[in-house]
Structure 1
Amino acid sequence: MDHEPETARVYDRAGFGHSVPRGARPAVVVVDFSYGFTDPSYPTGADMTAPVLATAQLLAAARSAGAPVVFTTIAYDPGQVAGLMWLRKARGMAALEAGSRLVEIDARLDPRPDEHLVVKTGASAFFGTGLATYLVSRGVDTVVVAGATTSGCVRATVVDAVQYGFPPLVPRDCVADRAPEPHGASLFDIDEKYGDVVDLADVLDYLTRPSDPDTAPSTTTEPKPEVSV
């Protein structure tokens, strides 16, 4: 039995699924595209080649437009490995040791020395970090979130972004997970409740527009098209 029409009706009745406003000063936050996630030879990793290469396109557009770029990586020191509660639940994450190759940003994204790197120990890029302060200091009013995993750190980052007042956009081409089911469910959940899941082409066009408030999209909230999962 096909439950999609009923699901859409329930969410529409609850008032979910509207679009977030887009500002004139976006930043791109690339969540945990480190080798520990993008290299399938590691137990914590998976083949994320297509989303990584799509994110490289996203970064090229952001850099050309002068938009701030932020990378995040998860890294633990021995004391954190011994004590953090999250690592009792997700024990494989303890392999992400500070200083190891697993926590290095994938070179295919060509991280630059002048681009901000957030080292985190939780799921959200905002939890226990100075990311919100950095974005405010750069005058950012919209956050484009890429990276891994869709069901974990990407979703957590998007939830915190909107709670901090940054409208989040998630290009579906630029996020990845270890399995399709949590990936699809999380994209649906993000699009209905927290941000806009969009095509990469949409974001590339958005980033290349002049940073002029007169050209920014209207903040009027309109219903969004249904997301395919």
Structure 2
Amino acid sequence: MTLDSRSLTPAQRYALVLVDLAVGFTDPQRSPLASSCDAVVAANVKLLEAFRQRGWPVFFTTVAYDSPVQARVFREKLPALNILKADSSLVRIDPRLEPRVGEPVIVKFWASAFFGTNLAELIRQAGADGVMVTGLTTSGCVRATAVDALQHDFRVLIPEQATGDRDAQAHVANLRDLSIKYADVRSVEDCLALLG
């Protein structure tokens, strides 16, 4: 039996949520959490430029810890997260995507950009009723953020080429599952066209 999955009505105004495009996830020479993702970064550069031109809201996220009690069970499960110390250069957004003044960098401890943060409130204050969720990694923080965005009643759009994962099979499987249950997965060009 197949689910009756439908495309969402486009949002009136999207917020761009760039998930964990920090050096610790984009530079495999410096971090075991990273993957070779130059094409993903380039796709995000294109989306970022489009949002900035329209004056639409942009939010970055990063994972950074300054206490051993933060997300302790998550860090027990995935010890590589411990390199993401708050004072480390690994938690800074990749310089190719340098945030501008007025573009918040949300510091999170868990997978979802919404859990334990005020992101939903900030998106609503910016007048957005939808989110484009991009970044790293598809099977982890991108997925968790997209699911939570829907649970906050936002219309969720995922630009396919603007997401990536260390595991190619997990990337494909999670995009497929997200597209059935939680979000619309589209090409970057189709997402740009929706901005009007």
Residue in 2 aligned with 1:111?
A: 99
State the distance in 1 between where 2:59 and 2:69 align. 24
Determine helix, strand or coil for the equivalent of 1:79: coil
State the distance in 2 between where 1:192 and 1:120 align. 27
CA offsets 1:123-146 (integer angstroms, 9 cap, x no match): 000000000110111111110011
Residue in 2 aligned with 1:183?
A: 171
State the distance in 2 between where 1:203 and 1:143 align. 11
Residue in 2 aligned with 1:45?
A: 34
AA in 2 matched with 1:64: Q
State the distance in 2 between where 1:54 and 1:110 align. 14
| 1:135 lines up with 2:89 in the alignment | no
Q: Whose Rg is larger? A: 1
Residue in 1 aligned with 2:45?
A: 56
By how many angstroms is 1:189 displaced? 0.7
Determine helix, strand or coil for the equivalent of 1:182: helix
Number of aligned residue pairs:
195
Residue in 1 aligned with 2:15?
A: 27
State the distance in 2 between where 1:150 and 1:69 align. 19
How much identity, in percent, do the aligned residues show?
A: 44
Residue in 2 aligned with 1:199?
A: 187
State the distance in 2 between where 1:186 and 1:108 align. 26
Determine helix, strand or coil for the equivalent of 1:191: helix
Matches within 5 A, 1:1-229: 10=1, 13-15=2-4, 17-41=5-29, 42-80=31-69, 84-207=72-195, 209=196
By how many angstroms is 1:114 displaced? 1.3
Residue in 2 aligned with 1:217?
A: none
Unaligned 5+ runs, structure 1: 1-9, 210-229
CA offsets 1:182-225 (integer angstroms, 9 cap, x no match): 10110001000000000000111112x1xxxxxxxxxxxxxxxx
Determine helix, strand or coil for the equivalent of 1:67: coil
Query: Where does structure 1 differ by over 2 angstroms across 4 or more consecutive aligned residues?
Result: 78-81
By how many angstroms is 1:161 displaced? 0.4
Q: What is the TM-score of this pair, normalised by structure 2?
A: 0.96
Residue in 2 aligned with 1:227?
A: none
State the distance in 2 between where 1:22 and 1:205 align. 11
AA in 1 matched with 2:33: T
State the distance in 2 between where 1:113 and 1:129 align. 20
By how many angstroms is 1:25 displaced? 1.2
Residue in 2 aligned with 1:7?
A: none
By how many angstroms is 1:164 displaced? 0.5
Unaligned 5+ runs, structure 2: none
Determine helix, strand or coil for the equivalent of 1:125: coil
State the distance in 1 between where 2:80 and 2:142 align. 18
State the distance in 2 between where 1:76 and 1:21 align. 38
AA in 1 matched with 2:62: T
